[in-house]
Amino acid sequence: MNLYWPPEAFNGRNGFMRGWSFITLVALLLVGLAYQRYSSGQAVAQELDIERIQSATVFIMQARTTGEELFVTCISSGTIVSRSGLVLTNAHSTVPSESCPGDVLIVALTIRPDEPPVLKYRAEVAQSNVGLDLALLRITRQLNGRLIEAGTLALPFVELADSDTTLLDDTLVVVGYPDFGNAPVAVVRGTISGFTAEPSGGDKSWIKTSASIPGTMSGGGAYNRAGQLVGIPTMAPIRRQAGEGNCLPIQDTNADGLVNNRDVCIPVGGFINALRPSNFARPLFRAASLGLTVEKLSQARVVSGSGADAAFSRLLFSPSVTSGMPTTVVGSMPTGSTSLYLFFDYVNMTSETVYEVRVTIDGIPDPTFSLAPVRWSGGERGLWYIGSSGQVWPNGTYEFTLFIDGVVAGSSQITIGANVGVVPTFSNLAFGLQSIDGQIIGNGFVLPTGNIAAATFIYQNMSDGLAWTPIWYYQGVEVFRPPETPVWTDGASGAKTISIEVPAGLQPGIYRLELYIEQRLATTADFTIAGAQIGAQPQVFSNQHFTTAESPQAALTTPEISSFANSVEALYTLFNWSQITRGTLWTIRWRVDGSVFYEQTLPWANAESGSDFLTRLTGENGIPDGTYRMELLIGSVLLVSAEAQVGIGQLPIDRFATASGIQLRGQIIDAETLRGVPGVSFIVISEDFSIADFTWDQSQIYALTVTDRNGRFQIDRPLQLGVPYSVLVVADGYLPISADGVELDAETPNPLEMTIYLTRD
Per-residue pLDDT at 6: 31
Q: Give the residue-averaged pLDDT of 597-601.
A: 93
pLDDT for the residue numbered 41: 28
Is residue 356 within 8 A of residue 373, CB to CB? The reply is yes
Q: Is 288 or 17 the better-scoring residue by pLDDT?
A: 288
More reliable by pLDDT, 207 or 249: 207
pLDDT score, position 393: 95
pLDDT, greater one: 267 or 121? 121
CA 213 to chain centroid, in Å, comes to: 19
Q: pLDDT at residue 16 above 60?
A: no
Could you tell me the pTM of the whole model?
0.80
Q: In the chain, where are the structural domains located?
A: 7-42+674-758, 51-142, 165-289, 311-416, 425-534, 540-646
Residue 566 to residue 178: CA distance in whole angstroms: 47
- Asked whether 126 and 137 are in contact (CB, 8 A), the reply is yes
From residue 672, give the alpha-carbon distance in Å to each of 11, 28, 700, 730.
20, 17, 33, 17
Q: Give the Cβ contact number of residue 94 at 10 Å.
A: 28
> Phi and psi (nearest 5°) for 215?
-60, -30
Residues of the chain with pLDDT > 90, as a percent, come to: 63
**Can you give the pLDDT at residue 661?**
67
Tell me the average pLDDT of the chain. 86
Give me the pLDDT at residue 221, please. 96
Bridge partners of residue 135, in order along the sequence: 89, 128
pLDDT in tens, 246-305: 566 666 666 666 666 666 667 666 788 899 999 999 999 999 999 999 999 998 876 555
Reply yes or no on whether the pLDDT at 600 is more than 80: yes
Q: Are strands 446-447 and 520-529 parallel, antiparallel or unpaired?
A: parallel
Residue predicted with more confidence, 578 or 535: 578
- Whether 218 and 233 have beta carbons less than 8 Å apart is answered as yes
Q: What is the CATH number of domain 165-289?
A: 2.40.10.10
CATH superfamily of 540-646: Immunoglobulins (2.60.40.10)
Q: pLDDT above 70 covers what percent of the chain?
A: 88
**Residue 617 reports pLDDT greater than 90:** yes
| pLDDT over threshold 70, residue 664 | yes
Fold of domain 311-416: Immunoglobulin-like (2.60.40)
Residue 573, number of CB atoms within 10 A of its CB: 24
Average pLDDT over residues 160-166: 94
pLDDT, tens digit (0-9, with 9 covering 90-100), for 28-80 = 333 333 333 323 223 323 457 788 899 899 999 999 887 777 888 889 999 99
> Who wins on pLDDT, 544 or 692?
544
Check if 311-416 and 425-534 are the same fold. Answer: yes
Quick one: fold of 51-142?
A: Thrombin, subunit H (2.40.10)
Question: What CA–CA distance (Å, rounded) separates 60 from 122?
Answer: 9
How much is the pLDDT for 730? 93
Helix (H, G, I), strand (E, B) or coil at 38: helix
Residue 755 has pLDDT above 50, yes or no: yes
pLDDT at residue 26, rounded to an integer = 38
User: Per-residue pLDDT tens for 342-386?
Assistant: 999 999 998 889 999 999 999 999 999 999 999 998 888 999 999
pLDDT tens, position by position, 418-428 = 787 889 999 99
What is the arithmetic mean of pLDDT over 654-670? 69
For 437-480, what is each residue's pLDDT tens digit? 778 888 899 999 999 999 999 999 999 999 999 999 999 999 99
In the prediction, which pLDDT does 703 show?
Answer: 84
CATH of domain 425-534: 2.60.40.2550
> What are 717-736's pLDDT values in tens digits?
778 888 899 999 999 999 99
156 vs 44, which has greater pLDDT? 156
Specify the pLDDT at position 445: 94
Q: Among 735, 677, 734, which residue's Cα sits nearest to residue 711? A: 677
